[in-house]
């Protein structure tokens, strides 16, 4: 690696399936985005689960993980379990790239409908999901715990992939 290559770790992002070896980095990204992050063991088990699709957003020549999207499928339905980007990578539009690639892979695998839950006051996430065609279908009161505060409500959303 040349001297200049050390500074080229941020390059065009690309999406690829997560490997169990990525679980540690994935856990750190998840913990930075949620009050109750998943640990290494949980993420290793999810990534290895055949019913789970786990994709990562990577940048640079060194394959640096900067985002994760994990869903679980049953028959022709799937549920997004989490979508998280490293704090330093937010606001670049890359979550949309990760979501689009994930939805395309699910559709190719035969998924017809996808569901998710999102904190009702998470404006960036809601804007992303609406931009990609998710429609609200319900609300769950006091669903997400918050450190030292009142739990937040969750909106349930769905989208057809058919």
Annotated catalytic residue within 25, 120, 129, 144: 129
- In which element (H, E) is residue 155 found? strand 149-160
Task: Output the six-digit token pair for 74.
Answer: 């049953």
Decide if 132 is catalytic. no
Decide if 120 is catalytic. no
| Long-range CB contacts (within 8 A, 24+) of 79-83 | 79/114, 79/115, 79/116, 80/114, 80/115, 80/116, 81/46, 81/52, 82/30, 82/34, 82/38, 83/125
Annotated catalytic residue within 25, 117, 119, 120: 117
DSSP 58-93: EETTTTEEEEEEEEEEETTEEEEEEEEE-GGGTTSS
Close Cβ partners of 130 (under 8 Å, ≥ 6 residues apart): none
- What is the CA 114 to chain-centroid distance, rounded? 13
Helix (H, G, I), strand (E, B) or coil at 18: coil
Active site residues: 117, 129
């Amino acid at each position: 690696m040349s001297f200049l290559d050390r500074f080229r770790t941020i390059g065009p992002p690309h999406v690829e399936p997560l490997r169990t070896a990525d679980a540690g980095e994935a856990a750190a990204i998840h913990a930075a985005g949620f009050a109750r992050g998943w640990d290494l063991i949980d993420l290793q088990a999810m990534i290895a689960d055949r019913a789970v699709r786990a994709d990562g957003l990577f940048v640079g020549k060194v394959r640096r993980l900067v985002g994760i999207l994990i869903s679980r499928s049953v028959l022709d339905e799937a549920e997004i379990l989490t979508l998280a980007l490293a704090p330093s990578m937010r606001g670049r539009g890359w979550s949309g790239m990760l979501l689009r690639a994930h939805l395309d892979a699910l559709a190719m695998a035969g998924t017809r409908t996808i569901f998710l839950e999102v904190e009702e006051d998470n404006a960036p996430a809601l804007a992303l999901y609406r931009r990609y065609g998710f429609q609200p279908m319900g609300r769950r009161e006091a669903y997400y715990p918050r450190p030292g505060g009142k739990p937040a409500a969750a909106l349930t959303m769905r989208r057809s992939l058919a």
